[in-house]
A = this chain, B = another copy of it.
C-alpha cells in the first residue's frame, strides 16, 4: 500500500514489468499493480526454504533478486531441480506435495498478492495486463517442456549449452542482460541437479565448453562470445 511511490525509487524497470511489457504494452493501472508487489519483502539465505513459515497453500511470491529453484528429493538422496526461478519470476507455492522451493543464492521475495488480485478483477480492468500474463504463462509452460526435452533427449554436452542459452534468454527478456553476459551463481552441484548429471561430469562438460571458447566463466559472470556457435552445440530451436 505504502509504496507505489517507493517502487519508483528503483531507477530501472523491475524485471517482471520488463517481461510483461515485452508481450503487451501495459497501461498505468497495470504498472501500478505490478509495482505494488513490494509488500512483505523477505530475504531467504542461500540453501534455505523460500516458503514462509506458515505459508498458506495459495501464496504467490515474486522474486526480486537472487535465484531459487523448485527441488524434488528422493528418499535415497537423489535430487532434481525441476525449475529455476530468476528475478521477475513468480513462485506459486501451492502445489507443494513432494517438492520444495529452495534459495540457490540469497533471495529476496515479495508478496505478489496485488498482482494476483488485479488479474482476478471482475470488471474489464487490466485487460492488457491479463493478455501479457497469459503469454508469460504460456512461455513458462514452454520452458518446462524444453527442460523435459533436455533431460530426455540431449547429451550432457548439449544439455549444458542448452541450459545456458535458456537462462541467458530469460535474463534478456527480463531486461537483466544484453544476451551475451549474465551472472552465474550456480555451483557445479546445482548444475548437476538441474541437468540430471553427476558433479564430475558437469565439471568436465563445462571445461570442454570453455576450452572450445563457447563460454567464458569468470568472477561469477558467464559470457557467451559467439551465440550462434553455442546454439549449434546446444541443439537450440529458436522459435518460441
Contacts and interface: CB of A to CB of B under 8 A. Distances in A.
Interface stretch (A74-82, A109-117, A209-217): A74-82
Given A82-B148, A147-B148, A74 B138 contact: no
B235 A74 contact: yes
B196 A152 contact: yes
A77 B152 CA distance: 14
A195 interface: yes
Contacts of A95: 138, 141-142
A56 interface: no
B138 A94 contact: yes
A76 to B, nearest CB: 8
Contacts of A22: none
A153 B197 CA distance: 8
A153 B237 contact: no
A2 B226 CA distance: 60
Interface of A: 70, 72, 74-76, 78-80, 82-83, 94-95, 97-99, 122, 138, 141-142, 144-145, 147-149, 151-153, 195-196, 235, 237, 239-240
Given A95-B142, A98-B237, 4 more contacts: A82-B148, A82-B152, A148-B148, A151-B152
